[in-house]
Amino acid sequence: MTRTQNPSVDGRPAPPRQPDDREAFPSGNATWWRQAAVYQVYPRSFADADGDGLGDLPGVTSRVGYLAELGIDAVWLSPFYPSQLADGGYDVADYRDVDPKLGTLDDFDDMVRALHAHDIRVIVDIVPNHTSDQHAWFRETLDSEPGSPARDRYIFRSGRGEAGAEPPTDWVSTFGGSAWEQVADGQWYLHNFAVEQPDLNWSNPEVRADFVRTLRFWSDRGVDGFRIDVAHMLTKDMTEPLLSRAELDALPLDGQHPLIDRDDVHEVYAEWRAVFNAYDPPRTAVAEAWVDAARVPLYARAESLGQAFNFELLEADFDAEQFRRIVSDNLALAELSGSSSTWVLSNHDVVRHATRYGLPHPPRADSGRPALKHGNEWLLSGGVTPALDRAGGLRRARAATLFLLGLPGSAYLYQGEELGLHEVADIADEHRQDPTFFRSPGIDKGRDGCRVPIPWSSTGTSFGFGEGGAHLPQPAWFASSAVDVEERLPHSTLTLYRRALNLRSELQTDEQLEWMDTGRNEVLRFARPNGWQVVTNFGTEPFELDRADVVLASDDAPLGIVPGETTVWLAPA
Ligand code: NOJ
């Protein structure tokens, strides 16, 4: 059934769709998401059906067979809405349409139908903190007076200094540079991200009502869930006088901070939750909230969004102690919220994990963070470095992934990680697209290196991505990681992911784990109540197992041995 229009009789417009004619997921149940393996599709870089060099929705539909064979439960699509791509689509010009460069609403419906036919749910990205400056609302602000209702949908202020020529505050945008931009009549608008991404005013009831409409629009089209972009920044206290950056930085992040992780954002999500729960099964939501771990449960509660990303594994080194602490802490947090935990190693914002694990541990003293940032020394040197251990990085990535897939909770995977792809570091400056590169300027290489189009075949135009080349240049080494190569190889990363994901439903029958003593700090072993066990050797010395019945190993494992930097799964005895 095409869902772009309601059926109509005798030429009269059909009544609005009623809850009972919604296309409920065929074998749906209300808790499908708790242990789901969710595969993130970055649509512009996945598959290009029309050969214009940009991936598109028919491209996703053409690869549904691949996704089904992979064994995932859901697809999360990064934004596919009309956009000038100032921030890879996270600058949305119309929340209830498809970017004509990527297809049509009919193409969207076809894609959802094809995914659902293979029991794969669909999660779409909602970007509520900011619109694109091409959005009809923002364009209206430019023809409207200061203080007008149109400007009140955004955050406009007068500048400081003579004739207001200075921005209202010294706040800095996440992508670098001032967080304020001046318009022709002298007022300034707030943009916490790129200049083309003006922040919305969430105190404005019209803004709130419009997002509810958007959530219903996609839910009515059969979407199963939502990923909420920068979920912790929507509501802001903009009472004058505005504080300086230093004053803001000195404030605790306790729910009352003027800009970040405010308690009152949950009033918005409570309203959304009521919308989600009106569907059967209820629509799900996962918060992208970079907040203190102790505050994550606020987003993950059933009364709020219901689930939240936990980025701690993605920020960790390949290290047993760090992994164990993170898993224990996050399972405890999940118990607090009543949600399930989420696990992530890669996404479209960070250096691919095969590459992170192939770099020497970064100095933690200054930033406290590993090589997540694309401006780290290795990427600054243009990717030409003896420091990257490609094989070692991939080996550790495979071990970490198999560990992650054995944990209770949802696993979020990023397209291309199933091929063991490394970051593409040596993209020439003239090909770069990411605003972080332009606004840093040039110091942070940006996130393009993990967004290079997927190699489907070892030969052919753009490695099978599409007939018209790829919007970001693909390196020659993609050939050996192409899908058509890896699917023939019993030891490839793709084969490993397929086997693990297809076995995973047997593991995920309960949501607990118990750590087992291994006698070695660098070896973690846990058991699920159903009898499955996972053993990861984070060290380099082989670990002797007390059993020989390994079902799956991240790399070759001799009988009864877990080699260094390897994970094995053991079935119930
Ligand atoms: C988080 C998204 O993951 C990232 O790609 C984007 O640039 C920012 N939010 C702004 O929307």
Per-residue pLDDT tens digits of the chain, which is 573 residues long: 223 333 223 333 333 333 333 344 445 588 999 999 999 999 999 999 999 999 999 999 999 999 999 999 999 999 999 999 999 999 999 999 999 999 999 999 999 999 999 999 999 999 999 999 999 999 999 999 999 999 999 999 999 999 999 999 999 999 889 999 999 999 999 999 999 999 999 999 999 999 999 999 999 999 999 999 999 999 999 999 999 999 999 999 999 999 999 999 999 999 999 999 999 999 999 999 999 989 999 999 999 999 999 999 998 999 999 999 999 999 999 999 999 999 999 999 999 999 999 987 654 433 344 455 554 444 443 444 447 899 999 999 999 999 999 999 999 999 999 999 999 988 999 999 988 888 777 777 789 999 999 999 999 999 999 999 999 999 999 999 999 999 999 999 999 999 999 999 999 999 999 999 999 999 999 999 999 999 999 999 999 999 989 999 999 999 999 999 999 999 998
> What is the Cα gyration radius of the chain?
24
| Active site (annotated) includes residue 312 | no
Q: What distance in Å separates the CA atoms of residue 494 and residue 500, rounded to the nearest whole number?
A: 10
**Ligand 1, atom 6: closest residue by C-alpha:** 90
Reduced to 3 states (helix: H, G, I; strand: E, B; else coil), residue 518 is: coil
Please give the pLDDT value at position 14: 35
* Choice among 125, 229, 423, 444 that is catalytic: 229
Kindly tell me the burial class for residue 105, based on how many C-beta atoms sit within 10 Å of its own C-beta (0-12, 13-18, 19 or more).
middle
Choose one of 90, 124, 351 to mutate for the ligand 1 pocket test, by most ligand atoms within 8 angstroms of C-beta.
Answer: 90
pLDDT at 372: 53
For residue 79, the CA-to-ligand 1 centroid distance in Å is 10
Reference 167, options 148, 147, 185, 182; nearest CA is: 182
Nearest CA to ligand 1 atom 5: 349
**Which residue has a Cα nearest atom 4 of ligand 1?**
349
Query: How high is the pLDDT of residue 359?
Result: 83
Buried b (16+ CB within 10 A) or exposed e, 527-563: bbeeebbbbbbbbeeebebeeeebbbbbbebeeebbb
Read off the tokens for 149: 């209702």
User: Which residue bears the tokens 């990257």?
Assistant: 388
Atom from ligand 1 closest to the CA of residue 288? 1
What pLDDT does residue 378 have? Answer: 46
- Closest atom of ligand 1 to CA, residue 447: 5
CA–CA distance, 255 with 274 (Å, rounded to integer): 23
Give the C-alpha separation, 265 to 249, whole Å. Answer: 20
How many angstroms separate the alpha carbon of residue 281 from the centre of ligand 1? 28
Measured in Å, residue 536 CA sits from the centre of ligand 1 at 32
CA nearest ligand 1 atom 3, residue: 349
Ligand 1 centroid to Cα of residue 460, in Å, is 32
User: Is 549 designated active site?
Assistant: no
Question: What is the per-residue pLDDT for 473?
Answer: 96
Q: What is the pLDDT of residue 2?
A: 29
Which of 349, 350, 436 is the pocket-test mutation for ligand 1 (most atoms within 8 Å of CB)?
349
3-state secondary structure of 194: coil
Indicate which residue of 48, 99, 288, 418 is catalytic: 288
**12-21 b/e (C-beta count within 10 Å ≥ 16 → b):** eeeeebeeee
Q: Work out which ligand 1 atom sits closest to the CA atom of 129.
A: 11
User: Which pTM value belongs to this model?
Assistant: 0.93
Distance 26 CA to ligand 1 centre (A): 32
What are residue 156's DSSP bridge partners?
A: 189
Q: Which of 42, 132, 230 for a ligand 1 pocket mutation test, highest count of atoms within 8 Å of Cβ?
A: 230
Which atom of ligand 1 has the smallest separation from the CA of 349?
5
Q: Which residues pair with residue 413 across a beta bridge?
A: 39
| 180 Cα–ligand 1 center, Å | 18
Q: What is the pLDDT of residue 248?
A: 98
- The helix (run of H) or strand (run of E) holding residue 38 is strand 37-41
As a 3-state breakdown, the chain gives helix, strand, coil percent values, each rounded to 5, of: 30, 15, 55
Ligand 1 nearest atom to the CA of residue 347, by list position: 3
Could you give the strand order of the β-sheet that contains 533-537, starting from the edge strand earlier in sequence? 514-515, 523-527, 533-537, 566-570, 550-553
Instruction: Tell me which of 84, 132, 200, 229 to substitute to probe ligand 1's pocket, judged by most ligand atoms within 8 Å of the beta carbon.
Output: 229
Q: Which numbered atom of ligand 1 lies nearest the CA of 90?
A: 11
* pLDDT reported for residue 20: 36
For ligand 1, residues with CB inside 6 Å are 87, 90, 127, 193, 229-230, 288, 348-349
What pLDDT does residue 435 have? 87
Nearest alpha carbon to residue 287 among 344, 330, 228, 332:
228
Task: Write down the residue that tokens 């009549």 correspond to.
Answer: 185
Ligand 1 midpoint to CA 427 (Å): 21
Distance from Cα 134 to the centre of ligand 1, integer Å: 17
